[in-house]
Structure 1
Amino acid sequence: MGTLDLTPPGVIDTSAERRSRVALGIVWALTRTGMLVLLLQDSLGVRGVAREVYVLYHWWYGHLTQGSFPVDDVTWQYPPGAGLVFLSPALLPWLTYFQAFVVLTLLADAAVSVALARAGTQGAWVWVAGLPLLLHVPLARYDVQVTAIAVFALLALGAGRSRVAGVLAGLGAMVKVWPALTLAGAGRGRTTREACFAAAVTVVALLAVLSLGFSHSLDFLRQQGSRGVQIESLGGTALALAHAIADWPGSVAYRYGAFEYVGPYVSTVARLQLLLTLAALCWLVWWRMRAWRWNPAVPFDAALCAVLLFTVTSRVISPQYMVWLLGLAAVCLTSRHTSQRTVALLILPAAGLSALAYPVLYEEVLTGSALGCAVMVARNGLLLAAALLSCRRLWITTT
């Protein structure tokens, strides 16, 4: 059975490209070794980054091996396809759960790096050099695997394989929802129909299989509506500033697996963020209706724009969300037609600031100190600027 070639037509493997790929491989090996050392030490800033895997993920793994998704667990907020990722360490039974999970994460990271290098080394450099800006956090979360699915879906879409892109987007949506946005910029007409139909069939088929194999497959839906305003979101930054400047009387509490603000006006801020998410969705629909100029980079650019919009309007902006943005920005830079070059450059320092916020200065962020507020204002300000610029560039180049 042949392998799927996701390399865009017209890409020439020159000696300069080969040298760049060798350099990429060396940098990947060095940076991932450093990330692995940081993960094993797990002593930088606030401790417990690795705990997510060997405690929480392993706990879910125990439920899943018994044929059930977690029941009445407020931290279980993921579509049922995520269960496949948490079960995947069983593929390496000679390792501990933690070891197997990290190995599989590194393999997914390597697969993304290779796919991007084949598509265009500039994009690959953004991924290979950008991911370490998040320190060891990506190795202790399952977002690298999710981003790999999204990257492969976009590269397939760019190579004209709309059905393959749809299957991958549907699979990604069943793992963590947001990869469905990779189809936001699919070409009009047949391409969109084929991709969306393949995605829908994949979602229905996988949901049916998981529902037959596991009980409580839709319990995650009950945990989403009660989420509050996480301290790292834009709304959380606004509340932190209100506390520092206007003596807002709220406080921080650990709820639903994250630190959230509680107190007056928090529910208002949460509702406002939901309205902004709805407004972002309406803008994307309006853009699709008005856009008529499609170049090869539009599917990539639209995916990055869509995910940026839903990130900045979310009630939760965990540091691992930056993994998604780095992956999509890298795909954009594989095309010389992209309108998102400056946006990608804004995402890189935002990733570095995210690592400062968590885990390095997380205590400062939790207490709402001047330093913690400054880091969050800078990070979220960059993300907001990137989202607005992304919308503007996408609109200008397509309408």
Structure 2
Amino acid sequence: MSAFRAFHVLRVMQSPRAHTRTTTGAHRLLPLAAAWLLTRALMLWLLAHNTHPLLGRGAVAREVWKLYHHWYMTLAHGAFPAHDALWQYPPGAGPVLLSPALLPGLTYFQSFVALTLAVDALIALALARAGSRPGRSLHGAAYWTLGLPLLLHVPLARYDVQATAFAVLSLLALRRSPRAGGVLAALGALVKVWPALVLLGAPRGRTTRSAWTWAAAAAAVAGLALAAAFRNPLAFVRQQGGRGVQIESFGGTVLSFATHAGWPGTVRYQYGSLEFTGPHVAAVAHLSLVLSAAAFALLVLWRVRARRWTPATPYDAALSAVLLFTVTSRVISPQYLVWLLGLAAVCLTSRQTTQRPVAALIAAAAVVSVVAYPTLYHLVASCTWTGCVVMFVRNGLLGVAAVLSLARLWRSTRSPTPHTTPEPDTHRLPRGTLSPS
């Protein structure tokens, strides 16, 4: 750098306008940092007192120190828990569950929680960085910071924050580096499958080809590496296929109400959750699979018929896709809301997103979800009227959010004129065009 250029840069940095921008940015980020510290301290306090009846009587933390640690011992010997009916996760979950070994001075539980908090902070930082760019918004970082604690201490005792990090980072990287976006989505899919959906809204043409090609290559390489490092890498497929209808799913809500009409089914703990057993349960489970297939077909139809992309379209499409697969799932555990909160936060980093009302519905669903679990889970499991109503409200909010999300996504990509002021890289796809000009 020449002396003149260095002097010019220094002069610009010292100008009142540059100083004002830097100060304003710092003032905007300081409240977010303070809010993150305060809310995460509260979540840790709740986790430390999780034996209280309203906090789950210890069931939330038990999943880490008992179940995850048990799997850790098996994984440490180079094998996946092939004969454990509770092991229903892709091979990428193995390294995540082994990661607490990186902090040898702590117990497994302490290390797991510490690493989860670190990944949570990484998501918040990535959202804040994205939101600080010109034309973007810090609403996404604020939504994640204040939204995750709505689930109380549950996110700290599940590895869904780690899976969500891959999806969030993939979406944020997609615009500048489709290759990095594809790799991150693939690694996330190896951890918990659903992050593969975040590439559904990648802009047509070079971005899609690059992202999907690198995702396939990364999945193949990482999958082969995991297969070489661990025995029984595909054991999870058999266990996942045997799952029934969880009491918190849409089908479970219908069956819960059916018990008050004389249906003779019962609730039983199996495959790691409370599921219904009895007449017609298999039919409800099969219907859920059919609805998931229909949701996928609807998303493919959207992509084929979409005519314009904005910078927010990949984000909006990812949230819509995961919402549709969530509401049609046989299992809607409370930690699924972590995924939705993360994707909604990414949407809110863009001023052109169509998903603001959807994000509000997801936040409301998160509040009701923790009322169902862990607070009133015994009433939900007993199919009492209170439990039925709580699940009806939670799933109703998610159902409305899914329909609204897809409708707004569809309308925003079919409209001949943008509803918002376009950003510099917004482009339209004329009818019949295969790739953006």
- Aligned counterpart, 1:61: 72
Deviation per CA, 1:292-340: give whole Å up to 9, x if none. Answer: 1000000000000000000000000000000000000000000001011
- Aligned counterpart, 1:186: 202
- Aligned counterpart, 2:42: 34
- Aligned counterpart, 1:9: none
Q: Report matched runs for 1:173-322 at 5 Å.
A: 173-244=189-260, 246-322=261-337
Q: Report matched runs for 1:1-399 at 5 Å.
A: 15-44=23-52, 45=54, 46-47=56-57, 48-120=59-131, 121-158=138-175, 160-244=176-260, 246-399=261-414
Structure-2 change in CA distance of 1:17 and 1:243 (3 Å): farther
- Aligned counterpart, 2:420: none
Using the TM superposition, give the Cα deviation of residue 374 of structure 1 relative to its aligned residue in structure 2, in angstroms: 1.1
Using the TM superposition, give the Cα deviation of residue 235 of structure 1 relative to its aligned residue in structure 2, in angstroms: 0.5
5+ residue gaps, structure 2: 1-19, 132-137, 415-437
1: CA distance between counterparts of 2:139 and 2:333?
A: 26
Using the TM superposition, give the Cα deviation of residue 18 of structure 1 relative to its aligned residue in structure 2, in angstroms: 2.6
The structure with the largest alpha-carbon Rg is 2
2: CA distance between counterparts of 1:251 and 1:13?
A: 61
Matched to 2:205, the amino acid is: G
2: CA distance between counterparts of 1:290 and 1:255?
A: 42
Matched to 1:130, the amino acid is: G
Using the TM superposition, give the Cα deviation of residue 14 of structure 1 relative to its aligned residue in structure 2, in angstroms: 5.7
Deviation per CA, 1:372-397: give whole Å up to 9, x if none. Answer: 11110000000000000001000000
SS in structure 2 opposite 1:220? Answer: helix
How many residues are paired up? 386
SS in structure 1 opposite 2:264? Answer: coil
1: CA distance between counterparts of 2:225 and 2:51?
A: 41
1: CA distance between counterparts of 2:297 and 2:26?
A: 44
- Aligned counterpart, 2:135: none
Matched to 1:50, the amino acid is: A
Structure-2 change in CA distance of 1:398 and 1:384 (3 Å): same
Matched to 1:336, the amino acid is: R
Using the TM superposition, give the Cα deviation of residue 341 of structure 1 relative to its aligned residue in structure 2, in angstroms: 0.6
2: CA distance between counterparts of 1:124 and 1:152?
A: 13
Deviation per CA, 1:68-101: give whole Å up to 9, x if none. Answer: 0102111100000100100000100111100000
SS in structure 1 opposite 2:60? Answer: coil
2: CA distance between counterparts of 1:134 and 1:353?
A: 9
Using the TM superposition, give the Cα deviation of residue 13 of structure 1 relative to its aligned residue in structure 2, in angstroms: 5.5
TM-score by length of structure 2 reads 0.87
SS in structure 2 opposite 1:260? Answer: strand
2: CA distance between counterparts of 1:13 and 1:265?
A: 62
Deviation per CA, 1:335-389: give whole Å up to 9, x if none. Answer: 0010111000100010011111100110110111111111100000000000000
Matched to 1:393, the amino acid is: R
5+ residue gaps, structure 1: 1-11
RMSD over aligned Cα atoms:
1.1
TM-score by length of structure 1 reads 0.95
Using the TM superposition, give the Cα deviation of residue 125 of structure 1 relative to its aligned residue in structure 2, in angstroms: 1.0
Runs (4 or more) in structure 1 with deviation over 3 Å come to 12-17
| Bigger mean CA deviation after superposition, 36-45 or 101-110 | 36-45
Using the TM superposition, give the Cα deviation of residue 241 of structure 1 relative to its aligned residue in structure 2, in angstroms: 1.1
1: CA distance between counterparts of 2:333 and 2:232?
A: 26
- Aligned counterpart, 1:4: none
Structure-2 change in CA distance of 1:62 and 1:267 (3 Å): same
Using the TM superposition, give the Cα deviation of residue 19 of structure 1 relative to its aligned residue in structure 2, in angstroms: 2.0
1: CA distance between counterparts of 2:249 and 2:24?
A: 42
SS in structure 1 opposite 2:91? Answer: coil
SS in structure 1 opposite 2:48? Answer: helix
